[in-house]
Amino acid sequence: PHTRGRASIFFSTFLGATLTLAMFSCCSARRTTHTPVPHAQVGHLALQGSALALGSDQLSTEYPFTLYALTHDNKHAGTTSEIEVQFEVEGTWTEPRPFISSKVKPTDAVSVDYKTPARPTKVRLTCLNSTDGWRFTHLVFKADDLETEIAKSTWGHWIKYVSVEYPIAAVAVDCKVGPWSDHGSCSKTCGGGKQEQRRAVTTAAAHGGESCPTLTREVDCNTQPCSPPYRLVAKGTECDGLMRDGQEVDLGYVTTVADCASEAKAKGSTWFIYAKNDSDLCSSEGCRCYAEVPGSQDCPITTNTRYNLYKSVGEDTPKPYTFVTKGKECVGQEVDLGYVTTVADCASEAKAKGSTWFIYAKNDSDLCSS
């Protein structure tokens, strides 16, 4: 209630659904109380008619909304009125603010913007001064791009300095989210990895609105093929890896990744092939690989091209072995691709550990069968 002896009239809800709503007319009569007539339920309404903006609420607040009043053209309506408004926010009523001034005609529609610290739950209207005949046909609360009708009038009268309160029904707000954005890095640099993406909530769900969708997902990334985990090295090239016998190699493929055969020496041989091996890791020590390879330097390891091989720098005498193709029978166990001796002596355990690539060589201590 206000000063100057104002009284208040409160309305209640019926069966949890029907608002006790009323038409109200302002009149400059005696200070008595009069109960408005209940009539309509809460609903939604698209506003029509000419709107007369009376100004903005000056409260230092955050939640913006608009209060509309649609009036009725009554032949007995007066031409002057004065109505102020208050809002209940979190159990506390705001200070009175102007809503309708004496400049508003009974046939005008009123539209006034306000702000409060949070969404209001009730509105209180108080008639300060008016001639007989003013009334509202609709009172509408607009916020978050939604319109909610909070009062719909019937004929009735109420008295100067008497307040009327109406509840403001909560409106469901659906969750809204922003665009997807990458988070972290791709799990692989090539060959197809996974990338996490996230998106943020821009508007939280409220009052039973639709909940937020998933905020994280995984997408494919770096789908381009990987380079093979080996490379052909030329004579004198510096390369990383662990030598199969801890010495220099004459010819071989070396890994371009950290994985390689740590025990890759073919028994009784000084010829080495480096290959990727997930179970055996090599050290990071450097080594020097020696080879003289005619033709393309990116020749695949399944080639049948014959190479002129040299054991080390400065030696030009070919060694007693030949290059054989896959599936060719030779003295000793079957090989996929490798060098086999042209003499009776060969390595009986010639497989490089963790590899399907084999080197056969003369070995004075281990003799193979014929």
Same domain, 202 and 140: no
Residue 348 belongs to a domain: no
Same domain, 157 and 182: no
Virtual torsion, Cα 49, 55, 57, 62, nearest 10 deg: 70
| Residue 128: CATH number of its domain | 2.60.60.20
> Nearest to residue 142, comparing CAs of 164, 110, 117, 165?
110
Say if strands 231-232 and 237-240 run parallel, antiparallel, or are unpaired.
unpaired
Same domain, 93 and 144: yes
Distances (CA, A) of 242 to 76, 273, 353, 356: 105, 11, 13, 18
Residue 325 belongs to a domain: no
Query: How many distinct structural domains can be found in the chain?
Result: 2
Same domain, 28 and 154: yes
Number of Cβ atoms within 10 Å of the Cβ of 177 = 15
Amino acid at 267: K
Q: What is the pLDDT of residue 132?
A: 52
Q: What is the pLDDT of residue 368?
A: 35
Same domain, 181 and 163: no
What's the domain range around 210?
176-221
Pick the last residue of a domain from 167, 196, 211. 167
| Residue 207: CATH number of its domain | 2.20.100.10
Residue 89 belongs to a domain: yes
Q: What is the pLDDT of residue 106?
A: 61
Same domain, 107 and 182: no
- pTM (2 decimals)? 0.37
Residue 103 belongs to a domain: yes
- List per-block mean pLDDT (blocks of 10 residues) for the chain, which spans 370 residues: 35 32 38 35 31 39 84 50 87 90 70 92 83 67 85 56 83 90 91 94 88 95 74 45 41 39 32 36 35 37 30 37 42 39 37 35 34
Residue 81 belongs to a domain: yes
Same domain, 96 and 210: no
Same domain, 64 and 101: yes
Handedness of CA 273, 276, 281, 287 (dihedral sign): positive
Same domain, 98 and 157: yes
Contact between residue 84 and residue 99 where contact means Cβ atoms under 8 Å apart: yes
**How many Å apart are CA 200 and CA 179, to the nearest integer?**
8
Same domain, 45 and 154: yes
Same domain, 13 and 144: yes
Same domain, 20 and 163: yes
Pick the last residue of a domain from 121, 145, 167. 167
Residue 185 belongs to a domain: yes
Residue 283 belongs to a domain: no
Residue 65 belongs to a domain: yes
